[in-house]
Amino acid sequence: MSLKDFFNFNQGGKTDYSVKLGFDFAYGDKNFKFAEVFTVEVFRKILTDCYEHAADFPKDKESALWDSVVFTQARRGLISILAHAMTHKEKLYLKLDEDCVRKATEEEKKEIDADPSGKKGLCVDFTDFHRATIVLILASLINLLLENANTSLNVSKSILLQINGLRENVANANAGEVIAQAKAIEQGLKNGTGALLDAGDNLELPTFDTNPMEQALDVLYGLMSFITGLPRAYISGELTTGLSTTGEADEKGIERGLTFYFNSIFKPVCEKLLGGHLVFKTSNWRKFAEIANLLPTLEATDMVSKEYKNQLIKEVFG
């Protein structure tokens, strides 16, 4: 076997000097879709935080929100159902059976359409929810970055050996000796026992540079932050750090972004299906401090009605 056959330089009379450097990014499941799962989890996280900011949520209906690992009809909770519908821009017909939310049957869909009051069930339409498409595209680009990183990591595990006079050896009929030498050098280096090289040979160990990937992720997370209306740190899962950093700006940005999802999706769907009258409560510690200072004054005055006092306290503290 000649060296030219070993490196596959000669194929059907055509010389091919290309080398495939791509490495398959194995998920363990051939049908796994990174972008879809990523987008669903983004919206699931948003809706879960909407619940965390919901005052007056009916306690006896909370179980309808959550998934279950038990194999039943209600394995998927309302939050997951909505997150999947948002991701795929679906039109949903939902019914409440005791404490479980499910998709309506074809017959039930007709009843829901005939009774817009919501007593028979609820129709939720995400067909115009185009921000989900943009998040899916950005998540697909993140997937490509991970695949490129996987290739770079695999290449960085290799050893680049530049052999002096390689082309002359390729043409040599006794190339088997060269192949044996190359394999011995590779094995010696991997085992840490060293190897004898020609003075003209050059050895290089590739390195994995994370800077391009980090810069690309910064851009993608920035775009995702813009389209979702939530801070970049919220999307990327980063924590605010530093002795002089309170994270207050991120907290305000999160609450500002969640307000849209709360008022447009979470509140109307939950109130129609599960009942109650939901109010968005803040987590802003400065507002807590201001209200705490105001409480004695509120208690001492008769100019503010008791109903308004109760409403104010409930809105802030839940």
pLDDT score recorded for residue 127: 94
Lowest model confidence (mean pLDDT) among 21-30, 88-97, 206-215, 301-310: 21-30
- Partners of residue 161 on adjacent β-strands: 203
- Residue ranges per structural domain of the chain: 3-27+159-205, 33-157+210-282, 284-318
pLDDT digits (tens, 9 = 90+) for 124-144: 999 999 999 999 999 999 988
Whole-model pTM above 0.85? no
pLDDT score recorded for residue 9: 47
pLDDT digits (tens, 9 = 90+) for 162-212: 666 665 655 555 666 666 777 777 777 777 777 776 667 766 677 778 888
pLDDT digits (tens, 9 = 90+) for 61-119: 898 999 888 766 667 899 999 999 999 999 999 998 877 888 899 999 999 988 877 77
Contact 231, 250 (CB under 8 A): yes
Q: What is the Cα–Cα distance from 131 to 137, expressed in whole angstroms? A: 10
